[in-house]
Structure 1
Amino acid sequence: ANAALEKLFAPKQRSELDAMMQAKLPDNWRPNEITQDQAQSIIKKFTLRAMRRHTSDVTINNILKPLKDKTGPELLKALKFEMKAIMLSPKFLYRGLLMEKFPGQQRPVDDYELAERLSYFLWEDRPDETLMDLAMKGDLHNKETLKEQVDRMLKSPKSISLAESFGVQWLGIANLDELIKEPISHHSLRHQPVLFLNHLFTQDRPVIELISSKTTFVNQGVSGFYGQDRARMTRFSKPKGIERTKTPFEEFTLEKATWRGGIITMPGILTMNRGPIQRGTWLLRRILGVRLGEPPADIPPIKPSPRGQNLTFRERFERHRSDASCARCHEKIDPLGFSLDHYDAKGQFLQNKDALPDASGKLPTGESFKNYAELKEILVTSQKEKIVRNSVERTLSYAMCRKLTRHDQPTIDLITKNIVKDNGTWKDLFVEIVNSLPFRETIFAEKIKG
């Protein structure tokens, strides 16, 4: 809180102080010269922003009382103390505490709470002036207005937080932070999927393009994963004397690299999930939404090939999973994981090898495939509803900042049905969520403390 206040009153933040005081300060103005009128203006504006809603005159006057009759440095010290107290209060740190409560009832949240939910969902930030104005007028509960605001907010640079926060949490992309220590490789492998997710979320792309898309994002660090398509990428000239450096990404349309496309075959995703078991488990949990139990603690290691036999890992693993308790999960994990065996541990596609590993498989549904390309076709057709449902559940949980319960199931069912039927986009999904009952209403506890 102290650092934030010092930053606010620093010369570089003068435009922010101008906005709070609703007046242009002279270039030679110093914080110690603050007047009572200026302090009052700052408190009123700061409290509105900090509490994320209109604050009563009684509350404002109580905050201003300690500032009365003070001038110069004493006034500045008292002002900072009151601002710090606001930033340390539960009403600033937690959401929903200032909303009128109705014990034991289900009610629509008020417009200020709705503005908060919308802003922290799409921007991971407090509501801006436009949302606050709409909340003050009581217009946010209009469904068309909410749709317009989603469209406006997705066009803002702040919407990158959806990919950087929600996307990274959902897909476990932060696992690359521990796995890849070399900064240039880390930058390339970690940022590529985030930029791709941002493209899907903000450019009104179909939800199922998460799995199959001709669009990707490339820089010099990942260009080597794209075969002959690399020749069409923009060339980057390194500064003289620099051996390696981080390079910018460009949006890129795939043509010949048919083994890429979608989130699953991105180099970073394949790198952080090394081996068929990790890859299959990740696909089941993160993409298809299948809940798997934790493996037993006493699993024996996979035995090496018997003397005189040169068995592949897949052949040795078939013997390993013969235990019935293991087979129950592995019949789901293994077909998905081994489908990606044409990609090595670093995510490189093994296109020029004479003898490729066996990437065929059969899903528990009975659907068979020869390689990942054929599996992808299954994922975007017969498995599409599962993928969309998982996307809906993950997004709704993030938007609500909580785990979902059985009471959310009708909402999940309805949104999934609409997205599948209309080949809905991510923006359609976001609009459906902000107009849903869980997002717009709340149930108050029978007894409310405080």
Structure 2
Amino acid sequence: DPANESGFDNSGETLAMTPALLNKYLAAARHVDDHLVLNHQGISFAPHPVVTDTDRDKYCVQRIVAFYDKQPTDLADYLKTAWEFDSRNVLGRSDVSLSGLAKRNGVSPSYMERFYKLLAGSKKTDGPENGPLFALRKRWRAMPVAVSREQTGPTKELQALAGWIRDEREKWEIPELTIVAKVVQTGSQSMVLMKNRTLASNRTKGKLPPNPNKDPQIERLRRSVAEFCSVIPDAFYVSERGRMHLKKKDRNKGRLLSAGFHLMTGFFRDDQPLYSLVLDEAGRKELDRLWSELDFVTRVPHRQFRDFVFFERAESPRFMKNEEFDFARSEDKDLTSVEKMKRLAEVYVRVAKSRNASPLVLTEIQRYFSGMSARIRRVENERQEAESRQLESVLRLASRAYRRSLESFEREDLLQFYRVQRDKHGLAHEEAIRDLVVAVLMSPQFSYQTMEAAPGTSTTALTGHELASRLSYFLWSSLPDRQLLELASGGSLGRPDVLRGEIKRMLLDQRSDALGIEFLGQWLGVRQFEQFNAVDRKKFPGFTPGVRRAMHQEPSRYFSHMLRTNRSILELIEGRHTFVNKDLARHYGIPWPGKDVRGNADGWVEVKDATSFGRGGLLPMGAFLTTNSSGLRTSPVRRGYWVVHRLLGEHIPPPPPKVPDLPADEADLGELTLREVLAKHRKSELCAKCHSRFDSFGLAFEGYGPVARRRTVDGGGRRVDVRAEFPGGRVGVGLEGLRQELVTQRRKQFVENVVRRLFVYALGRRLMLSDRSAIEGAILALERGEFRSQLLVEKIVLSRQFLQKRDREFKPNR
């Protein structure tokens, strides 16, 4: 997007919707639309495209697997909680309950109760010595006890016991059912599903020793095994399967939630132990919803049945190869209709009987057809019932996109668009919904911040929703959230006290990072630094993509921290701290980790005293120094120009034509240093006029190489000189000398430039003469308020320029 004269691309004066740009918007809208998911309650968006069946399967399956993976099923965690409960008096927690301790440790309270009862049962119920209960409790009672408050538990012993429990449970596992079917294939869906159901039903059962003679000792062992296995399932859930008709040793794995069919689509739910033992009511509802949405979103029952028909006709022994099955083919549009499925079931059962299928096989065949028909009918009914909710959901999306309530005519226009797509163009519901979403995203009401001018010749206050949009795009570069919109609808957003509260709330929100990325990045010319490719990677191998990415983030993180903590804007140039991650710390020569760093969850740390490493504030940040180098050498000219033009806001005219270029590499300068070459260049009166204004600021950075690493010699092996004689004759040395020059001699100029630039960005237009009083008022408030950054934001937001708009026939006061 083109930028305005201040360098910002959010200006209506320079932005235009060209045909080429319109096509890009349309492509972007369709890309978003590819992520659209239609569910029971309306619409949502997936993190990846969900256009194909495979895409939808991936989306739904990964959500279920992610749910499974985050559940507390590690027995070691329950053992540790039980140990802490038994040791609660020694650990100083005598009043803690088992349930409370389970919640604190992140394990299931309900399962903890059952598991602890299994561990700590009385000796009378231990069972025989060869039973699992006796062995488990014997090991538990031998566990080391706590002897001090500081003790964290015998981790090694607890892990070993958890391993023993798993091994012991495996000893009592019921053997897998072997599919024996001569009439139908062992890989037929009905047979595989029978095997899956049998395995699932045995998760909390054990292989009980036979006791035909009712021997009391064997009976006690059976009770021991049954109780042990009822609490310790052979699996809490199954998240992947191989081809289930094969022997266990021959199966491949890795097909998440697969039913285990061969060459057929299908999923099978096997999580009853997790569901009944571990999850609370909310967790059960969530898991039920995820599995229900799997069928709903993917239409997998329909696809599974089509694959069944194809498989039965194509794969040996081709049960459906005879002519009597010719009415049902996998490609038939009506294959999953009630009538055709009923007819196919009747023919299939009749043929199976004629081929002497066993009663068990016949029962499973009938169960399969009735079950598949019920699933397909349920999905069809649910999808039909959800259509109106999905349409309403798109209308709510439109309201969010337009950042206000829809007008009645807008709502009707969108509904009419949907009806035309269905009735006139013959689109299915999902296709029409997708087109409607694209229409919303292509609407000018979404793409533009529209502020309708009122009739009159003066100014009018913004409406609540206009103000909410302007504020959210200023601080977040995004849509207003619900709270902003509610305040706008209620008419209170324009009150100064409410606005002050919203400013503080919004700056504390993570979305305010966008202000650092967009405003600071565009102001200082590093918004696109992550795509910067002017560095010779062979000469500077340390400038890796990770370092470049970190350099790109460093300024915006610094700026966002300044705003959130309400620090002085002067810290942009005089700050003593910075933020680095491991890549950037290594590049800068900062120890990782070091005594002066405090860590964040995302791998970034604050270096409190960065000056000892030649860092602190914006000036020595890698993004600025690297951008303003010349590939193989530093560029005092470009670095100095950046300080004077970007930071201080001075206008420097472009250089005259045919100015000779300096050597690209410092090694090619010959006997002269870069400083001496520039001094020679300034002897020309034409050149000196501008260079005398900024060269010295760049020379102060000579202690930093082309990719911002500190150095003492240049690329030609000559010792660098970081002295600088600033305009006016003042002399400074290196970064600290430059800081002092800016803070003591150029502070007013710097502050005014920051204020002017932020006003331009916030208003989305160039400054006018009528803005001068607001700018001067903001500068005065900053001087009185220790230059606090949030104060500047507040002065801008509460200004007449931000809160009002010009009337249609506006006439300035003369």
- Into which bin does the TM-score normalised by the smaller protein fall? 0.7 to 0.9
Give runs of aligned pairs for residues 23-422 of structure 1, distance below 5 A: 27=293, 28-30=295-297, 32-35=383-386, 37-39=388-390, 41-65=392-416, 74-96=428-450, 99=452, 101-102=454-455, 104-173=457-526, 174-175=528-529, 177-180=532-535, 182-224=544-586, 226=588, 232=594, 248-254=603-609, 257=612, 259-274=614-629, 275-301=635-661, 310-350=671-711, 356-422=719-785
Q: Distance in 2 between matches of 1:272 and 1:172?
A: 9
Alignment gaps of 5+ in structure 2: 1-28, 46-285, 298-381, 538-543, 630-634
User: Max radius of gyration: which structure?
Assistant: 2
Matched residue SS, 2:639? helix
Q: Distance in 2 between matches of 1:121 and 1:82?
A: 29
Structure 2 residue 804 is the aligned partner of structure 1 residue 441: yes
Matched residue SS, 2:660? coil
Query: CA distance change for structure 1 residues 178 and 233 in 2, over 3 Å: closer, same or farther?
Result: farther
In the alignment, which residue of structure 1 is the partner of 2:231? none
Query: CA distance change for structure 1 residues 13 and 249 in 2, over 3 Å: closer, same or farther?
Result: farther
Q: Which moved more, 1:30-39 or 1:401-410?
A: 30-39
Q: Distance in 2 between matches of 1:231 and 1:47?
A: 48
Report how many aligned residue pairs link the two structures. Answer: 426
Q: Distance in 2 between matches of 1:228 and 1:29?
A: 53
- Could you list the per-position Cα deviations for residues 72-120 of structure 1 after superposition, in whole angstroms to 9, with x for gaps in the alignment? 97444444444433322222221115x3532543222111111000111
Q: CA deviation at 1:442?
A: 1.6
Q: Which moved more, 1:136-145 or 1:45-54?
A: 45-54
Partner AA of 2:446 in structure 1: F
Q: CA deviation at 1:434?
A: 1.0
Matched residue SS, 1:369? strand
Q: CA deviation at 1:225?
A: 5.3
Q: Which moved more, 1:428-437 or 1:79-88?
A: 79-88
- Could you list the per-position Cα deviations for residues 155-199 of structure 1 after superposition, in whole angstroms to 9, with x for gaps in the alignment? 212111112222211111224622357412212322222322222
Q: Is the 8 A contact 2:640 2:696 kept in 1?
A: yes
Matched residue SS, 1:381? helix
Q: Which moved more, 1:47-56 or 1:333-342?
A: 47-56
In the alignment, which residue of structure 2 is the partner of 1:432? 795
Partner AA of 1:296 in structure 2: P
Q: Is the 8 A contact 2:472 2:478 kept in 1?
A: yes
Tell me how large the CA RMSD over aligned residues is: 3.4
Q: CA deviation at 1:295?
A: 0.9
Q: CA deviation at 1:152?
A: 0.8
Q: Distance in 2 between matches of 1:317 and 1:86?
A: 57
Q: Distance in 2 between matches of 1:231 and 1:46?
A: 46
Q: Distance in 1 between matches of 2:43 and 2:442?
A: 25
Matched residue SS, 2:570? helix
Q: Which moved more, 1:70-79 or 1:357-366?
A: 70-79
Q: Distance in 1 between matches of 2:398 and 2:41?
A: 18
Q: CA deviation at 1:256?
A: 6.1
- Could you list the per-position Cα deviations for residues 210-242 of structure 1 after superposition, in whole angstroms to 9, with x for gaps in the alignment? 11222211223222455575561699xxxxxxx
Query: CA distance change for structure 1 residues 256 and 160 in 2, over 3 Å: closer, same or farther?
Result: closer
Matched residue SS, 2:612? coil
Q: CA deviation at 1:12?
A: 12
Q: CA deviation at 1:16?
A: 4.2
Q: Distance in 1 between matches of 2:488 and 2:576?
A: 40
TM-score, length basis structure 1 = 0.83
- Could you list the per-position Cα deviations for residues 253-277 of structure 1 after superposition, in whole angstroms to 9, with x for gaps in the alignment? 1266163211111233222222210
Query: CA distance change for structure 1 residues 211 and 12 in 2, over 3 Å: closer, same or farther?
Result: farther
In the alignment, which residue of structure 2 is the partner of 1:243? none
Percent of aligned pairs with the same amino acid: 26
Q: Which moved more, 1:121-130 or 1:6-15?
A: 6-15
Q: Is the 8 A contact 2:43 2:390 kept in 1?
A: no
Q: CA deviation at 1:57?
A: 2.6
Greater RCO, 1 or 2 (C-alpha within 8 Å, sep 6+): 1
Query: CA distance change for structure 1 residues 344 and 43 in 2, over 3 Å: closer, same or farther?
Result: closer
Q: Distance in 2 between matches of 1:228 and 1:218?
A: 9
Partner AA of 1:61 in structure 2: E
Q: CA deviation at 1:355?
A: 7.8
